[in-house]
Structure formats: structure tokens, C-alpha cells
Amino acid sequence: MTARLALPTEEAEDWTVSIASSLPAEHLRSSRSSLKWTRYPDDVLPLFVAEMDYPISERVRAAIIERVAASDLGYIDSAGPLAGAFADFASQRWDWAVDPSTIRVATDVSVGIVETLRFGVAPGTPVVVTSPVYPPFFELVEEARLPLVDVPMVELLEGWHLDLEHIEEAFAAGARAMLLCNPHNPLGLPHDRQTLLDLATLAARYDVLVIADEVHAPLTHHGAVFTPFAAVAAEVGAKAVTVTSASKGWNLAGAKCAVMVPSDARALALLDSFPEEVACRTSILGLHANVAAYADVDWLDSSITRIMQNDVLLAGLLRRRLPLVHYRRPTATYLGWLDFRDLGFGMDPAERVLQEARVALNSGPSFGAAGRGHARINLACDPRVLEEAVVRMAAAFG
């Protein structure tokens, strides 16, 4: 499993890391064309979409330039070198033995999920999701024309948990698929092994297909442990497909390439039933960018360190400047889940934060009913941007 490294503490708010500093926000706004920098006016701090502000890995940059220089911009029909690159990373990072010959590709994680739903779930069969959860989950189930059952996460004093009791009730009532977010977005929670084993056991008992979105898995924080669901599913005979990519860990969302990993022969047969266009629509530049990314663990580890530093910073800033905004600190991802309910901002505090503080956060209700009164914030930015965001919110609401 992941190496256990020392965690920064609340007191270590001057903790520093020696990696390249992120570009100033002004330069990012003028040099980048992604929606993060174009959706809102210039006076808004963009801390919403899951995109890093950090410069990309030099190894990734070189791989893309090399392919362009070679005029290698055609179609692909398989994972090719990406299969071995991902399998090596999974083995070294998570002690997960993946057979490279079983790995398939898709345009991105969302495409992998919706195609698995289309070809793996019978018409009219309910699909379980666990809010608050990645908003496209709701759209993907709708795109596959399947009914959705929301079994919200349970928040206890010690943290958030899957509600296995009610998940089993949904399975018993006829749900035959589940979208699992692991690590869970927006909560920054890698589900523990026992929870995943219990879920896999239920899935095997009720013949439920579990589709695990593990795109944030490389961003598990130092000292925390990530457990791949497909590895656990294989132990108990559950049918599962993992869909993941280097897109979040190395900031390659626009490169358009994801891998799909089956838990067993049944899941592999499902993946092989997809039309060949699922692979052919994947970007060849994305494929080679992913290959380079999975080999650049130094860049990844440095970025995680920086994200953890910003997590410490945000926790301290909120404690001092906005104590009524509650923040349960993540142990994966670069996303923070903020609870504004004690400020009485209603269902969608992100709207008020945007209008009055000029900070763009993700709307909590878009993550499902359990997201009401909350908002999501992006930590993968210059620490000065986080500080300015809290200063603005404190001036408006403190």
C-alpha cells in the first residue's frame, strides 16, 4: 500500500516544500484558455473546477511535444504502452497486481462510466449513487437512461461513511449497479479496506456491478492509504470495473484518455463488448501523456506535499477568520468540502460567496441533496490565492 510519510500538523503552518512555485494568477488568466480562467470576470478568484494551477510535469510536456514533432496524431485502438505503465504504477503505489492485457481505454472517466452502464446494466435497472458525490454521476446515469437511487453518505463525529445498511436495501429492492467514488469527491475520503470489502461482499451477494471512479487515487495524501476496489472485489467474486486516469493526479483533464480495469473475466467480457469507437475516440496525445505521467512519481509526490500544505493553511485560516465555516480535512484529492450551514446561507452558499466575496466555489446542491448548505473549494493553487479567498469571505461574512 502507499508509503506512510509524516503528515504536516496544524502548528506547522510555515511548513515549506521545494518545488517550482505556481504561476501568478494574473499570468494564468492571460495564458490559459480552460473554463477555470474564462467562465468568470477577472475580479473573481476561481476555486471551483477540479484543475490544478501548477505547471505540468516536464516529462509529460516532453512526451506531448515528441509526439507532435513526430506528426503522430492519429487514431488508437488499444491501451498500447499505457497498459504496462498503469500496471507498474498500480503495483508500486498500491500493491495492486493488474494484468496489463486486461486494460482497456476510453476517452475519459465519464465516457468509461456511461459506456459501462449502457452495456453492463439492463434497461430500467436502478443505479446507486452516494451523495454528496461528483455531480456528473447524476448526469451519466440519466445519459444511460437508467433510474437512480441516492443513498447518501453518513456523517459521524469521526468522519463520513458509506451507508452500507441502506445500500443493501437498495440492492435487495432491485438496484443492480453502483457508482463508487474512491477516493470520494468532494469529501476527499479514500474508503477503508474493510468498508470496501463489505461493499464487495454485498455486491457479490446481489449480483451488482460496481463501477469505481478512482481518478483521484494518485492524489491520496502522504500517510493515508488507498485501496483499489477491483482488487477487493476479486477476492469475493464481485463484478467490478475501475475507471481511472492520470488526468487529476497530473492535471491532464483536457488530454482525454482513461483506462478501464476489470475485476474478473465477466467484467473483461463486458469491456470487450463495447464498440471499437470507445477506444478510437481516445486521444493519442492523452495516451502518451498518461504513460509519461505514471512514470513521474516525483512530480506527483511534490504536488501532494504542496496540496497538504494548503490544506493546513486553509484549516488555520478558517479557524481564525471564519470559525462558523466548518472544514473536515481531506486525506485525498485537492478538494475541500466546506459546511456553511451555521452561517444560515441556505441551500447554495456558493452563490452568495460568488456575489458578495467574488470567490467562485462549486455549488453544494450540485453534489446531490446531501450537499445543501455546502460548497467545494480547490486547494491546488498558490497559497496566496487561498488566503485572499478567506480574507474576502471573512470581510463579507465574518
Q: Residue 214: CB partners within 8 Å, gap ≥ 6? A: 182, 183, 228, 229, 242, 243, 244
Q: Which three cell numbers stand for residue 228?
A: 483499489
Q: What is the pLDDT of residue 19?
A: 34
* Beta-carbon count within 10 A of 53 CB: 21
Both 334 and 186 in one domain: the answer is: no
pLDDT in tens, 251-270: 999 999 999 999 999 999 99
Whole-angstrom Cα Rg for the chain? 20
Rounded average pLDDT over 218-232: 98
Q: What is the pLDDT of residue 34?
A: 87
Rounded average pLDDT over 130-159: 96
Q: Which three cell numbers stand for residue 122?
A: 439492463
Q: Is the pLDDT of residue 1 over 50?
A: no
Both 195 and 272 in one domain: the answer is: yes
- Please report where in the chains the cell 432491485 appears, as a residue: 174
Residue 158 belongs to some domain of the structure: yes
Percent of the chain with pLDDT over 70: 93
Q: How far apart are CA 268 and CA 263, in angstroms?
A: 8
Q: Is the pLDDT of residue 18 over 50?
A: no
DSSP characters over 73-119: -----S-THHHHHHHHHHHHHH-----GGG-EEESSHHHHHHHHHHH
Q: Is the pLDDT of residue 11 over 50?
A: no
Q: What is the pLDDT of residue 306?
A: 97
Residue 101 maps to which CATH number?
Answer: 3.40.640.10
Q: What is the pLDDT of residue 35?
A: 86
- Its domain, for residue 322, covers 25-56+297-397
Both 128 and 69 in one domain: the answer is: yes
Cβ–Cβ under 8 Å, residues 279 and 258: no
Both 235 and 282 in one domain: the answer is: yes
pLDDT in tens, 167-205: 999 999 999 999 999 999 999 999 999 999 999 999 999
Residue 7 belongs to some domain of the structure: no
Residue 17 belongs to some domain of the structure: no
Both 51 and 70 in one domain: the answer is: no
Both 200 and 116 in one domain: the answer is: yes
Both 148 and 282 in one domain: the answer is: yes
In the chain the first and final C-alpha atoms are separated, in Å, by 42
Both 382 and 269 in one domain: the answer is: no
Percent of the chain with pLDDT over 90: 88
Residue 206 belongs to some domain of the structure: yes
Q: What is the pLDDT of residue 25?
A: 67
Q: Is the pLDDT of residue 15 over 50?
A: no
* Strand 240-244 to 359-360 pairing: unpaired
Residue 30 belongs to some domain of the structure: yes
> Is residue 32 very low, low, confident or very high in pLDDT (cuts 50, 70, 90)?
confident
Both 275 and 342 in one domain: the answer is: no
Half-sphere exposure of 282 (CA within 13 A, CB side): 31
Domain boundary residue, one of 260, 295, 330: 295
Rounded average pLDDT over 94-103: 98
Cβ–Cβ under 8 Å, residues 255 and 286: yes
Torsion 166-369-45-338 (CA) sign: negative
Instruction: Give the number of domains in the chain.
Output: 2
pLDDT in tens, 291-329: 999 999 999 999 999 999 999 999 999 999 999 999 999
Domain boundary residue, one of 252, 267, 295: 295
Both 196 and 267 in one domain: the answer is: yes
Residue 321 maps to which CATH number?
Answer: 3.90.1150.10
Q: Is the pLDDT of residue 22 over 80?
A: no
Q: Residue 108: CB partners within 8 Å, gap ≥ 6? A: 245, 247, 253, 256, 257, 258
Residue 18 belongs to some domain of the structure: no
Q: Residue 342: CB partners within 8 Å, gap ≥ 6? A: 324, 325, 326
Residue 31 belongs to some domain of the structure: yes
- Mean residue pLDDT across the chain: 93
Give the H/E segment covering residue 386.
helix 383-397
Both 92 and 69 in one domain: the answer is: yes
Nearest to 289 by CA among 135, 80, 60, 113: 60
Q: What is the pLDDT of residue 365?
A: 98
Nearest to 209 by CA among 186, 184, 243: 243
Identify the residue with better confidence: 22 or 72: 72
Q: How far apart are CA 160 and CA 310, in angstroms?
A: 22
Cα–Cα–Cα angle for 90, 332, 103, rounded to 5 degrees: 25
Q: What is the pLDDT of residue 30?
A: 76
Residue 20 belongs to some domain of the structure: no
Domain boundary residue, one of 295, 323, 358: 295
Both 223 and 303 in one domain: the answer is: no
Rounded average pLDDT over 48-72: 97
